[in-house]
Amino acid sequence: MYSKHIKEHKTSWGAPVLTATFPAYRSVSFVGSIELPKYSIMGDELGKLYGQMLLEGTKKKKKKDIQILLDTWGASLSFSTSTTRLVFSGRVRTVHFEKLLALVSEVLTEPTFPAAELASLKKRELGGLAMEAQDTRSQASIGLARALFPKGHPNYAHIIEESRRALAGITRGALVKFHNEVVGRDSLVFSVAGEMDEKKILAYVEKYFKKLPKG
């Protein structure tokens, strides 16, 4: 219905920005992504933890502070990873859109990856792997993926024991190194839909994502 309203723009460094402006009860939704490197076995597990750890705190804000802000704005914000992209998405009232983009920029430029939160998350992930090891459907899926795709292919699957070893070896330092290597504005793709002036959208994307490093 609203496909005719979708327009493609470019930031000053060439990143595509898609906008679809239409009446939406004074709210906007957005999805952005940044390219990730080809994963190794460590990278598979590292990427999963990395996406979950980004909202655990920044140099200026603790996890609790971030959640209070989101609640105050009536906003949602999440980060996740696929085999090829870091994906972040959110929804907020139009009046708070700039503030939410500023927070996204802060999370991407100043994450702290707290060691205590990492330890807790690793325990949960290990628990999930233990359950997966007992799931016949999961085991069959892993076996099929290993038979169909060569090692290094995005759809190749690692056995549970490989994932456990990789997970055990992930440290805060590894997350920091991974972050410094992958986050950059050149591969950014960003889309926004909702009730907001198009010029303001482009101005905010330019202002806050230009803070990301090149590359």
Three-state DSSP at 192 gives strand
CA torsion sign for 154, 80, 170, 174 is: positive
Task: Please give the full DSSP string across 78-136, using - where no structure is assigned.
Answer: EEEE-SSEEEEEEEEEGGGHHHHHHHHHHHHHSB---HHHHHHHHHHHHHHHHHHHT-H
Give pLDDT, residue 88: 97
Give pLDDT, residue 4: 61
Q: What residue ranges of the chain have pLDDT lower than 70? A: 1-4, 38-43
Give pLDDT, residue 135: 79
The model's pTM: 0.85
Q: Which of 93, 100, 95 is nearest to 32 (CA)?
A: 100
Give pLDDT, residue 151: 81
Give pLDDT, residue 150: 85
Whole-angstrom distance, CA of residue 107 vs CA of residue 89 = 13
